[in-house]
Chain A
């Protein structure tokens, strides 16, 4: 079997256990994921990233090595996210990462994470978001965030309800799956693109240019996409908690 890696021409590979001593060949090639997960269990897991699923399953059963591997897989991305949110303040980002991972471990150990409701990356993200919001509150800036940004989401993030974190993760996962087309939310590919682009800061005028329509038409399509996503979330019982309001769809 020949192989190629970054910048390296393929070479024959050998070197399995029991091969006579000697160089075993240079290698690199895409290889299938390990398949040591018991099949009935593997089949019952939601169809997400199998390797992360595998690690999460093991970590939830108290496997510390699996948790360490999860940390390695997702830690870099989490740290990068906190660096962006803190404007590059390394010590703060480190602190947030530590708090997040401790909380994630406690949730795994306490059976508070349900892989059916959210991927582990989404769960880690949701926990991290709450860590960050709690810092904002202690720094006296939560009110400004609540007022200026997304009051419902911020309230969910700050809620003392222990189930709020899981609920937030579930909502984020639903949106993730809608945006990637993994679940049918009634969104077309164009609408999924519109939602991503609009959230990334693309103006209605730029949307219109790229879609080749008038700005008003672009805005209409954008609103239609939002409505579809909103209806899908509400159909699943998710409405953002607003400060001082009871959520009919809450837990």
Chain B
């Protein structure tokens, strides 16, 4: 075996190692413009395995609750946009600070019924003031349970996430993927919130803060 083949083998071994590195949940095939691809992929695996039907989403409803969009600034109305006045004076160049990414919060609640089946998953976009760690537990749970999609659950698993908006699930496809992944972990964690949380972070970008909680009835 010559050195080129050995080098190729070594490179392949290193690449294979990287396969096991956790990828951010925002899988490229879950982005809005690729929902068609995601749907195509799910159709493909239906005959093999159904991602979204990880014992939960196959028959469960995913409820996406979004707050009303903030009012956009009025666009300039009437006539052409006035040309800016140009001063002949030297304008100092000001280097703008890099804008901080906009931060958002999302609360995912997985409702299980008395038969231990996942009956529905609800996602609420929250508008918390301050860091997630400073938000009271009660407020997080209140947000999670607002307009609950299940009236009498046996258990509710709540996953609160806060981070750059672009890192949070923003489409149904992304939310389903995250929910399916976390639900799969939840099944193997025997309802242990710490276990679920530690597994869940593998599917969520490192820039996102994660809190989990379970409520049992």
Instruction: Give the total of B residues in contact with A, Cβ under 8 Å.
Output: 73
Q: How far is the CA of A179 from the CA of B9 in the complex (A)?
A: 11
Residue of A nearest to B209 (CB): A7
Q: How far is the CA of A48 from the CA of B3 in the complex (A)?
A: 28
User: Chain B contacts of A119 at CB under 8 A?
Assistant: 16
User: What is the interface of chain A mostly: helix, strand, loop, or mixed?
Assistant: helix
Whether B137 pairs with A26 at a CB distance below 8 angstroms is yes
- Report the number of A-B residue pairs with Cβ-Cβ less than 8 Å: 241
B37 within 8 A of A: yes
B141 within 8 A of A: yes
A40 within 8 A of B: no
A60 within 8 A of B: no
User: Chain B contacts of A239 at CB under 8 A?
Assistant: 1
Q: Closest CB of chain A to B110's CB: distance in Å?
A: 14
Contact (A150, B197) CB under 8 Å given A65-B54, A125-B12: no
Whether B41 pairs with A98 at a CB distance below 8 angstroms is yes
CB < 8 Å neighbour of B198 from A24, A31, A52, A79: A31
Whether B198 pairs with A30 at a CB distance below 8 angstroms is yes
Q: Identify which of A135-143, A158-166, A204-212, A225-233 touches chain B.
A: A225-233
Q: How far is the CA of A19 from the CA of B217 in the complex (A)?
A: 7
User: Chain B contacts of A21 at CB under 8 A?
Assistant: 215-217
Residue of B nearest to A231 (CB): B1
CB < 8 Å neighbour of B51 from A6, A23, A68, A195: A68
Contact (A69, B212) CB under 8 Å given A152-B5, A176-B17: no
Q: Closest CB of chain A to B40's CB: distance in Å?
A: 8
Q: How far is the CA of A224 from the CA of B216 in the complex (A)?
A: 61
A175 within 8 A of B: yes
A57 within 8 A of B: no
User: Chain B contacts of A101 at CB under 8 A?
Assistant: 44-45, 48
**Which B residues between 112 and 160 are near A, CB-CB below 8 angstroms?**
131-133, 137-138, 141, 155
Whether B194 pairs with A68 at a CB distance below 8 angstroms is no
A75 within 8 A of B: yes
Whether A25 pairs with B189 at a CB distance below 8 angstroms is no
User: Chain B contacts of A173 at CB under 8 A?
Assistant: 13, 16
Whether B51 pairs with A71 at a CB distance below 8 angstroms is yes
User: Chain A contacts of B141 at CB under 8 A?
Assistant: 23
Instruction: Give the total of A residues in contact with B, Cβ under 8 Å.
Output: 88
Q: Closest CB of chain A to B106's CB: distance in Å?
A: 15
**Which B residues between 10 and 65 are near A, CB-CB below 8 angstroms?**
10-24, 27-29, 34, 37, 40-41, 44-45, 48-51, 54-55
Contact (A125, B16) CB under 8 Å given A28-B212, A152-B5: yes
Return 27 A-B CB contacts under 8 Å, by A number.
Answer: A9-B133, A17-B155, A23-B213, A25-B193, A25-B213, A27-B211, A28-B210, A31-B195, A52-B20, A67-B49, A74-B19, A77-B23, A79-B27, A81-B15, A90-B28, A90-B29, A102-B48, A105-B48, A124-B19, A150-B8, A151-B5, A172-B9, A173-B16, A176-B16, A226-B3, A233-B9, A240-B1
CB within 8 Å of A: which residues of B?
Answer: 1-24, 27-29, 34, 37, 40-41, 44-45, 48-51, 54-55, 131-133, 137-138, 141, 155, 177, 180-181, 184, 188-189, 191-195, 197-199, 201, 203, 206, 208-217
Given A24-B215, A81-B18, A226-B3: 13 more A-B contacts, CB < 8 Å: A22-B215, A23-B215, A26-B211, A64-B48, A77-B20, A77-B23, A81-B15, A93-B28, A94-B41, A152-B8, A172-B12, A173-B16, A176-B16
